[in-house]
């Protein structure tokens, strides 16, 4: 048995013994890496980044006059909050969608944030 066969067996065994969330996170992380996007866990404040992931949640935040649309993008390593200022809704921005986003990372309340990111929806739901 060659080393490739052993690696295949280990991957199959891991898939059988891991939970669905872990496997989904691994798949997202691998897709992001193949696409050339940065891993969210490696992104630093002030850095211009491109992140590929899946939207976990989307919500409208009507805080006084500063209404915004916020979404959490998860790439398999860490979540990044996306904030579009002055928007109530953006067609296609829905939980479960896979997106590639680009912008400058900020940190707000200890979480990574991209304000008004450029975005591309990668798959239809």
C-alpha 14/C-alpha 93 separation (Å) is 33
The more confidently predicted of residues 55 and 19 is 55
**Confidence tier at 119 by pLDDT (50, 70, 90):** very high
From residue 66, give the alpha-carbon distance in Å to each of 52, 60, 85, 88: 27, 11, 7, 11
**How many domains would you assign to the chain?**
1
pLDDT in tens, 92-117: 999 989 999 999 999 999 999 999 99
Residue 65 has pLDDT above 70, yes or no: no
C-alpha 41/C-alpha 75 separation (Å) is 9
Decide: 50 and 32 in contact? Cβ < 8 Å: no
C-alpha 107/C-alpha 116 separation (Å) is 14
Residue 28 has pLDDT above 90, yes or no: no
C-alpha 31/C-alpha 43 separation (Å) is 17
| Token pair recorded at residue 115 | 């304000």
What's residue 1's pLDDT? 45
The more confidently predicted of residues 116 and 4 is 116
| Segments forming the whole domain that contains residue 45 | 3-121
This prediction has a pTM of 0.73
What's residue 29's pLDDT? 59
- What is the arithmetic mean of pLDDT over 6-19? 59
CATH number reported for the structural domain that contains residue 86 in this entry: 2.40.50.140
Residue 18 has pLDDT above 80, yes or no: no
């Amino acid at each position: 048995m060659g080393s490739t066969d052993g690696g295949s067996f280990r991957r199959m065994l891991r898939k059988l013994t891991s939970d669905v969330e872990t496997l989904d996170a691994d798949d997202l992380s691998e897709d992001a890496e193949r696409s050339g996007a940065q891993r969210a866990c490696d992104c630093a404040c002030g850095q211009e980044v491109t992140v590929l992931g899946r939207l976990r949640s989307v919500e409208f935040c009507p805080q006084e006059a500063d209404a915004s649309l916020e979404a959490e993008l998860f790439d398999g390593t860490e979540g990044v909050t996306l904030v579009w200022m002055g928007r109530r809704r953006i067609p296609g921005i829905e939980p479960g969608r896979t997106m590639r986003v680009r912008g400058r990372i900020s940190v707000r309340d200890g979480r990574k944030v991209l304000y008004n990111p450029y975005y591309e929806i990668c798959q239809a739901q």
